[in-house]
Amino acid sequence: MIETRIEPPKPLVTITVDGVEMTAPQGATILETCRDADIAVPTLCYLDTLEAFNACRACLVEVEGSRTLVPSCSREVTEGLVVETESERVVAARKMVYELLASSVDLSLVDGETAMFMERYDVDVDRFGTADRPVRAVKVEDDLYIRDYDKCIMCFRCVAACGPDAQNTFAIDVAGRGLKATIATEFDIVLPDSACVYCGNCIGVCPSGALMFKTEFDMRASGDWRPEDQTVSRTVCSFCGVGCNLELHVQDNRIVTVTSPMDHDVTSGHLCIKGRFGWSHVQPDDQ
Amino acid sequence: MSRWDGGLDRSSADDRVAYGGFHKAASQRHLLLPALHAVQDAIGWVSHGAINYISERLTLGPAEAYGVATFYDLIATDEQPARVAHVCDDIACKAAGVDVMLDDLERELGPPRTDLDGVMWRPSPCLGQCDKGSAAFVQVAGGDHRVAAPASAKQIIEILRSPKPRDHVVAPTPRQVGAPTSLLARVGSQPTLDEYRADGGYEALTTALSKGSAWVVEQVVASGIKGRGGAAFPAGIKWKSVAAHDGTKYVVCNADESEPGTFKDRVLLENDPYLIIEALTIAGLAVGAERGYLYIRDEYPIALRAITEALSSVRAEGLLGEDILSSGRTFEIETRRGAGAYICGEETALFNSVEGYRPEPRQKPPFPTDAGLFGRPTLVNNVETLANIPGIIRKGGAAFATIGTDDSTGSKLFCVSGNVSEPGVFEVPFGATVRDLISLAGGPTSDIAAVLIGGAAGAFILPQDLDLALTFEATRERGIGLGSGVVIVFDSSVDFVEIVNRIAEFFGDESCGLCIPCRVGTVRQAESLVRLSSSNGDRTVELEILDELDRVLRDGSVCGLGQAASVAVQSALALGLIGDPA
């Protein structure tokens, strides 16, 4: 029998969001409260399964009495908080955040939600013209995944997934500072020489296509990548007894990538090298 | 989990020794920056092998150690010459005409950032020697770092080339003439511990121990003293808040004075180290901390030496360590060297630096008084703020509060530099005007065109506003911050485009890269300013960009660096110092 500990309910606090009074449990963030109330707040670096980084500033909201805008992903609700999620000030800041980001990296593969918000805020991606931006070549160092830091928005998710929030491998970290900062192994050595264990959890959390399965990268290069023709089958990984759930992304009867559901109790979206990459033996032509 | 952490020199003796296992080693991460310094000091750069060795000893991923090492200007991860001169080209020295010297240096030695026969030089942000008008900080691998201020091209080349370079060559800080000073009373005399005690030193600690912590905190609250580092937060609130917490706590003296144009903390640390140590000890005992950190920028080796020597004297006299003055109380101070990063003056970035992480700021709240260094309640005070504490304890908080104005109590140190006859650090009771300070500094050398108040994060004022009182309330009313007490005077020969561009470039260079508004916005601001001053920029477009950048930097940046990065630029535009249609 599975014992489930039931915690006493947390006291509720009352806050006002966009003029509407609502309650939220103590300890909840403004972002969680907004999402529960179906109020759309954009995020770039935030991910439920990782600790908030406060880096991207897309989720900024206006809090009455606060000198600056406030990152909703990390600010916990307090009694009487008055929040504006899309005031003129908030929209101006978000628009600029996207415009600045677009001037520094390639956003062509960024997630759909971000694309939607960029349209909503009328973002001018060419605003800064030929601004200074670091140009970085794609790193293809093995057959499993590639790193295209030209598309890296510096959300820090991969560093957290590789490190303390999931894998505890610490193969990558941020190196350098300012606009020149990038994600790197020590001395930028190639992945096979680094501490990387190829769990691919960094790919699983990357929101901008900077980290990508080699299969997807090659298919995109040859023009064969067709997400609209892909199906997703959920199954249980058969390599060991942990019970990780896999989502097999299949195109033309071949597995092209593997993910794990973010909301799955066992994995929280994370896998190991076997679940993530160990599927060549079931491909039709590799057997 | 337990693992070998004895390094590569494994001997048979080690085989029987357990060093405490993984968790013990992991708790030593705070030694990462000192370890990187040790290698950098010894051989002039940190190699791949060194990173691997340090990582192994501290049980870190080498990528983490590399990430930390590459953050700092004064830690090199590429092989570089054993001697590297960092030569100030920042705004105060620029106003004083340092460009002539930089041209000489380039002509006589060679181009910057290049290996010139085993030596190198590179321009540097402010080195805190603004009263000298030029300065160089030279990293000497295998020896002690050297400072020259004022610095000539010949001197810098001599330090770089001489087999045995001379010790620091720094002009003494002149004593303030006129009204008696309290904070600067011992400047120039560099007292020994005995002399310091004969001059009333450590009376405050004795008083504090006999009257108790609650009384001490009360005095600091009653004094109304506000932080002197730039944020002007009431110190008493911090003291009270940290004192109210239970468990392990820390106190930190923020001596990472890096705001361009600021050198008051350096003068205090070099001339009166016992004052700062006594103050930090009082702070630690009052709030219930047993450990204090003094975080000092690496560009201040003279101050570090003074502090280090003073610490060993006070320890020998039982004024630090266990059972201080037979009180049964324990307090210890550890110094930590910065490594060339302006952001480390931001308190939460400073914590991360001490803890061995990349010095990126943390989102507040939680505030340091609740969760600071190592996640514990922490009191952080600037050097000058602390320097006031022994006086407050001796004379009482109420007496302190009578000096200055209602909202700005006490006296304040101002760093006056640029185009004045006798630049230096001056102490005045709050209420003195910009004009008063300029006349204390011997008056302007020629017609004043503008004065920068508060440093790179501050704002310009015009000659007609010299009667502005330099108090927290008067400057706030004018929408400019008092900052750390910087007054840089610019005469009409100064090219403001160049000065403002240098400020913008400074913020781009020093941004940590964590948040998008600052990481990208500071660079875009600098680019827009260059376009604005060139003929091919569309003035309306650039002004709109600068205005929107200003908004997002102030509203959206994580920390004070980004939030202040556009202030000087905007004030220069508003006053017509730059950006006027030609």
CB A65 within 8 A of CB A52: no
CA distance B363 to A156: 15
Same domain, A90 and A207: no
Query: If DSSP states are collapsed to H, E and C, what string results for B116-150?
Result: ECCEEEEEECCCCCHHHCCCEEEEECCCCCEEEEC
* Chain A hits for B65, Cβ within 8 Å: 186
- How confident is the model over B177-183, as a mean pLDDT? 79
The answer to whether the CB atoms of B63 and A171 lie below 8 A apart is yes
Minimum distance, in Å, between the CA of residue B515 and any CA atom of chain A: 4
CA gap A276, A199 in Å, rounded: 7
Q: B505 to chain A nearest CA, in Å?
A: 12
Q: Is residue A149 part of a domain?
A: yes
Q: Which of A88, A104, A187 is the best residue to mutate to test the B interface, defined by the most B CB atoms within 10 Å of its own CB?
A: A187
> Do A257 and A149 fall into the same domain?
yes
- For residue B72, which of A104, A183, A170, A178 has the smallest C-alpha distance? A178
Rounded distance, CA A40 to CA A59, Å?
10
Residue A120 lies in a domain: yes
Residues A123 and A182 in one domain: no
For testing the chain A interface, which of B68, B70, B367, B567 should be mutated: the one with the most A CBs within 10 Å?
Answer: B70
Per DSSP, the residues of B7-48 read -S---GGGGG----HHHHHHTTGGGHHHHHHHHHHHHSS--H
Find out whether B423 and B417 touch, Cβ atoms under 8 Å: yes
Asked if residue A2 is part of any domain, the answer here is no
Structure tokens at B163: 């087999």
To the nearest whole percent, how much of chain B has pLDDT over 90?
A: 89
Is residue A203 domain-resident?
yes
Residue of A nearest to B46 (CA): A187
Q: Tell whether A87 is covered by a domain.
A: yes
| C-alpha torsion angle, residues B506, B507, B513, B519 (rounded to 10) | -120
Check A175 against B70: CB less than 8 A apart. Answer: yes
Using a CB-CB cut-off of 8 Å, the residues of chain A touching B509 are 178
Smallest Cα distance from A146 to chain B, Å: 18
SS3 B456: helix
Q: What angle (nearest 5°) sits at the alpha carbon of residue B453, between those of residues B449 and B456?
A: 100
Q: Which residues of B touch A52 (CB under 8 A)?
A: 363
Cβ within 8 Å of residue B140, ≥6 positions away: B82, B83, B146, B159, B165
Taking residues B27-35, report their average pLDDT.
Answer: 93
Whole-number pLDDT of residue B6: 46
Assess whether pLDDT exceeds 90 at residue A69.
Answer: yes
pLDDT tens digits, B504-532 = 999 999 999 999 999 999 999 999 999 99
Boundary of a domain, candidates A108, A133, A158: A133
Q: Which two tokens stand for residue B158?
A: 């001599």
State whether residue A232 is helix, strand or coil.
strand
CB contact under 8 A, B523 and A131: yes
State the best of A63, A67, A186 to mutate against chain B, taking most chain B CBs within 10 Å. Answer: A186
**Residue A20 main-chain phi, psi, to 5 deg:** -105, 130
Structural domains counted in chain A = 2
Structure tokens, B527 = 């680019």
**Confidence check: pLDDT of B20 > 70:** no
Cβ partners under 8 Å of residue B383, min gap 6? B228, B253, B254, B255, B257, B264, B265, B268, B269, B276
CATH number for position A25 = 3.10.20.740
A257 phi, psi to nearest 5 deg = -145, 165
Please determine, for residue A251, whether its predicted confidence score (pLDDT) is greater than 90. Answer: yes
pLDDT in tens, A212-222: 999 999 999 99
Which of A133, A161, A186 is at the close of a domain? A133
Is 80 exceeded by the pLDDT of residue B27? no
- CA-based nearest residue to B279, from B315, B306, B252, B250: B252
How would residue A211 be classed by pLDDT, with cut points 50, 70 and 90?
very high
pTM of the model: 0.95
Q: Which stretch of A126-130, A224-228, B40-44, B175-179 has the lowest confidence by average pLDDT? A: B175-179
Distance CA A23, CA A28 (A): 10
Residues of A within 8 A of B527 (CB-CB) are 128, 131-132
Q: Are residues A12 and A74 in the same domain?
A: yes
| Domain match, A151 and A276 both | yes
Contact B452, B488 (CB under 8 A): yes
Amino acid at B128: G
Do A72 and A181 lie in a common domain? no
Query: CA-to-CA distance for A21 and A86, rounded, in angstroms?
Result: 16
Q: A271, A121, A68, A159: which is closest to B513 by C-alpha?
A: A159
Amino acid at B76: A
In a domain? residue A204? yes
Question: Distance (Å) from the C-alpha of residue A8 to the closest C-alpha of chain B?
Answer: 25
Single out the residue of B451, B398, B522, B423 nearest to residue B176, CA to CA.
B423
Q: Do A186 and B62 touch (CB under 8 A)?
A: yes
Choose among B67, B509, B515: nearest Cβ to A173: B67
Taking only the tens place, the pLDDT of each residue in B185-230 is 999 888 999 999 999 999 999 999 999 999 999 999 999 999 999 8
- Can you give the length of chain B in residues? 582
Contact B517 A100 (CB under 8 A): yes
> Looking at chain A, which residue has its C-alpha nearest residue B359?
A177
Q: Quick check: B90 and B125 in contact, CB under 8 A?
A: yes
**Can you give the CATH number for the domain in which A270 is found?**
2.20.25.90
What type of residue is B385? Answer: T
Q: Residues with Cβ < 8 Å from A285, sequence gap 6 or more? A: none
Task: Dihedral sign for Cα A202, A208, A210, A211, please.
Answer: positive
**Res B51: pLDDT:** 97
| Structural domain that includes position A278 | 145-282
Question: Distance between CA atoms of A6 and A10, rounded to whole angstroms?
Answer: 12
Hey, which residues does B37 pair with through a beta bridge? none
Specify the pLDDT at position A10.
86
Asked whether B491 and B417 are in contact (CB, 8 A), the reply is no
Strands A145-147 and A139-140: antiparallel
* Residue B4: band (very low, low, confident or very high) from pLDDT cuts 50, 70, 90: very low
Boundary-marking domain end, from A133, A154, A174: A133
Predicted pLDDT of residue B480: 86
Residues A101 and A64 in one domain: yes
Average pLDDT over residues A132-138: 88
Asked whether A156 and A45 are in contact (CB, 8 A), the reply is: yes
Rounded distance between C-alpha atoms, residue B182 and residue B429, angstroms: 10
Q: Which residues of B touch A132 (CB under 8 A)?
A: 523, 527
Q: Residue A7 gets which letter from DSSP?
A: P
Q: What residues contact B53, with CB distance under 8 A and at least 6 apart?
A: B7, B8
Whether B514 sits inside 8 A of A195 (CB atoms) is no
Confidence of residue B21 (pLDDT cuts 50, 70, 90): low
Query: In this complex, which of B513, B517, B555 lies closest to A177 when CB atoms are compared?
Result: B513
- For residues A277 and A174, membership in a common domain is answered with yes
Identify the helix (H) or strand (E) that includes residue A89. helix A88-104
The secondary structure of chain B in percent helix, strand, coil, rounded to multiples of 5, reads 45, 15, 40
Average pLDDT over residues B464-478: 94
Q: Has residue B5 got a pLDDT over 70? A: no
User: Do A85 and A18 contact (CB within 8 A), yes or no?
Assistant: yes
Q: Would you say B34 and B65 are in contact if contact means Cβ atoms under 8 Å apart?
A: no
What is the SS3 assignment for A57? Answer: coil
Compute φ and ψ for B336, nearest 5 degrees.
-130, 135
**Residues A168 and A84 both lie in one domain:** no
B558 contact residues in A (CB cutoff 8 A): 54-55, 57
Peptide bond into B365 cis (omega under 30): yes
Which residues in B lie closer than 8 A to residue A100 (C-beta atoms)?
516-517, 520-521, 524, 552
Residue B307 — left, alpha, or beta (φ > 0 → left; ψ -120 to 50 → alpha)? alpha
| Segment (H or E) for B333 | strand B332-337
Q: Which of B61, B508, B563 sits opposite A68 (nearest CB)?
A: B563
Question: Which residues are CB-neighbours of B348 under 8 A, at least 6 positions away?
Answer: B361, B362, B364, B368, B372, B559
Encoding tokens for residue A62? 């206006």
The residues, ordered by sequence, that sit 6+ positions from B132 with a Cβ below 8 Å of its Cβ are B149, B150, B151, B170, B171, B423
Segment B337-357, tens digit of pLDDT: 999 999 999 999 999 999 999
Could you tell me if residue A192 is inside a domain?
yes
**Neighbour order of strands in the sheet with A139-140:** A139-140, A145-147, A211-213
Q: Is residue A30 part of a domain?
A: yes
Q: Give the Å distances, CA to CA, from B122 to B42, B113, B161, B511.
A: 20, 5, 15, 19
Judged against a pLDDT cut of 50, whether residue B2 lies above it is answered with no
Q: Are residues A109 and A157 in the same domain?
A: no
Residues B303 and B296: their CA atoms lie apart, in Å, by 8
**Shortest CA gap B24–chain A (Å):** 17
Cα(B356)–Cα(B31) distance, rounded to whole angstroms?
7
Tell me, yes or no, whether A210 and A110 share the same domain: no
Closest CA–CA distance from residue A149 to any residue of chain B (Å): 15
Strand-pair partners of B124: B88
Q: Closest to A178 (Cβ–Cβ): which among B509, B517, B545?
A: B509
HEC-encoded secondary structure of A134-198: CCCCCEECCCCEEECHHHCCCCCHHHHHHCCCCCCCCCCEEECCHHHCEEECHHHCCHHHCCCCC
User: A209 and A123, same structural domain?
Assistant: no
Number of Cβ within 10 Å of residue A146's Cβ equals 20
Identify which of B77, B363, B511 has the shortest CB distance to residue A71.
B363
CA distance A179 to chain B (A): 5
Copy the structure tokens of residue B299. 């560009």
